[in-house]
Amino acid sequence: MQYTLLQGMKERLHCLSAFWLQSSKYGEKINDVKNYGAEVDVFEVFDVNKKQIEHAIHWDGYGKDHKTQKFTTKINTNANGRSGFHTYGVEWTPKNYFFYYDGKMVNETSQAVSNVEQYMIISMEIDKAQMDYIKSNNKFYDEIVVDYVRVYKLK
């Protein structure tokens, strides 16, 4: 399968926005990612002012057995931390994950490849610094804008 998302980012503070895949059985059994799935972070943006996104694979739950592999990709932003619209994608094959930014493959891995159905999540989280800002200024201006999500089946 190939998953692609077009997303635009506005001004940012300390908000985490992400596009990720998850298995409904994730973490139920350790050392069996093929049958229980992985968390596949197509992208995570912790702070666009850092001018990078993160791709990651998480497997074996979130407890003591948790494992992860992470990659970072530089992104283009202007002085206000605005990056405009970009595409983010993952090509998920039986043996590999290939991560894309603006149509260019930027990372790949054969680690922890899931063979089970996974669902898509587009999320935005607020951390403590963001919450402190909101409380002291009574203002929240972070947002993400998603134009489309496409899923393609590999032949």
DSSP 153: -
Q: What is the pLDDT of residue 34?
A: 95
Q: What is the pLDDT of residue 128?
A: 76
Q: Please state whether 129 falls in left (phi above 0), alpha (psi between -120 and 50) or beta.
A: alpha
Structural domains in the chain (count):
1
Q: What is the pLDDT of residue 93?
A: 92
Phi then psi for 50, rounded to 5 degrees? Answer: -80, -5
| Span 24-44, pLDDT tens digits | 999 999 999 999 999 999 988
pLDDT greater than 50 at residue 88: yes
Q: Which residue has the higher pLDDT, 16 or 106?
A: 106
Sequence-distant (6+) residues with CB within 8 A of 4 are 87, 88, 89, 100, 149, 150, 151, 152
Q: What is the pLDDT of residue 138?
A: 72
| Span 105-135, pLDDT tens digits | 999 999 999 999 999 999 888 777 777 777 7
Residue with tokens 């666009």: 48
Query: Which range marks the domain in which residue 57 is found?
Result: 2-152
| Span 64-73, pLDDT tens digits | 999 999 999 8
Specify the pTM: 0.84
Q: What is the pLDDT of residue 32?
A: 97
CATH number at 65 reads: 2.60.120.200
Q: pLDDT band at 10, cuts 50/70/90?
A: very low
Integer Cα distance of 69 and 57 in angstroms: 5
Q: What is the pLDDT of residue 29?
A: 95
Paired strand residues for 39 = 58
Burial of residue 126 (CB within 10 Å: 0-12, 13-18, 19+) is middle
Whether 1 contacts 153, CB under 8 Å: yes
| Span 41-56, pLDDT tens digits | 998 887 655 678 899 9
Phi then psi for 130, rounded to 5 degrees? Answer: -65, -45
